[in-house]
Structure 1
């Protein structure tokens, strides 16, 4: 059983049944493997949650890097819309909802601080860049609670308006 399949199974379980259902036994059953197979990769529930948090940070970092825009904020904006519109959004809600342990969420807080500080000194208008980045966080939050709130046309209009706040 691959590590990624176990993380997928844990996220699916959280989406379907909530954080109370997240047990190692339930994840192993969902993944179709033995509990021993799961324990090989994640020996505790905390290790499993840590793995989900680490994966989402890594995937969002990769998504930002893949955008190829001229500034970090434009990359961040494009990555946010790509993630929200592709359904990756659920992963954020699931992982943060799964952990009441602030220690396990520390890497996410550190990544968030990095994402909001990165390249601000190289932005043509750092204030506008901060506003756009914070608007992206608001989009994540709203879309997490109501994924069907916006259709592609509304997302496109919102993205265009946010880009208009940025010089260049």
Structure 2
């Protein structure tokens, strides 16, 4: 069984039953493998949660990969909206909620610091870019709790408005 399938099973379990249901036996059962098969890849519940957090970070990093002619903030905005539209936010909420352990969340804290500092000084309007990145965090947080709040039209309008903050400020 591939590691991603085990992580998928753990995330599904978290989404369906909450963090108290996240046990190695339950994940193995959900994945259709023996507990020993799961332990081969993830020796502890903490290792499993850490792997889920790291995978979420990698996925967001992939969404922010360099696109010619786009600033990092434009890519960050696009990545956030892609995550909102896809429903991946719930995965983030349940995985980080399941952790409850600052050590396990350390990679996420480091990624957040990197994401909010990345290329900021090279942006045409660093303050506008910072506002957009912070707005993305707010959108992400609210959408993870109320995914039906914004329609596609709402998201498109938010994207258009936030993009106006990324352009250089008038001199």
Shorter-chain TM-score: which interval? over 0.9
Taking the aligned partners of 2:139 and 2:61, their CA distance within structure 1 comes to: 18
Listed as ranges, the gaps of 5+ residues in structure 2 are: none
Which residue is equivalent to 2:51? 51
Q: TM-score, normalized by length of structure 2? A: 0.95
Q: Does structure 1 residue 29 correspond to structure 2 residue 29?
A: yes
Which residue is equivalent to 2:96? 96
RMSD over aligned CA atoms reads 1.1
Q: TM-score, normalized by length of structure 1? A: 0.97
Taking the aligned partners of 2:33 and 2:110, their CA distance within structure 1 comes to: 33
Listed as ranges, the gaps of 5+ residues in structure 1 are: none
Aligned residue pairs, count: 168
Taking the aligned partners of 1:42 and 1:155, their CA distance within structure 2 comes to: 38
1:15-164 to 2 correspondences below 5 Å: 15-65=15-65, 67-164=67-164
After superposition, give the CA deviation of every residue in 1:127-164 in whole Å (9 maximum; x if it has no partner): 00000000000001000110111111111111111011
Taking the aligned partners of 1:69 and 1:56, their CA distance within structure 2 comes to: 26
Q: Is the 8 A contact 2:28 2:35 kept in 1?
A: yes
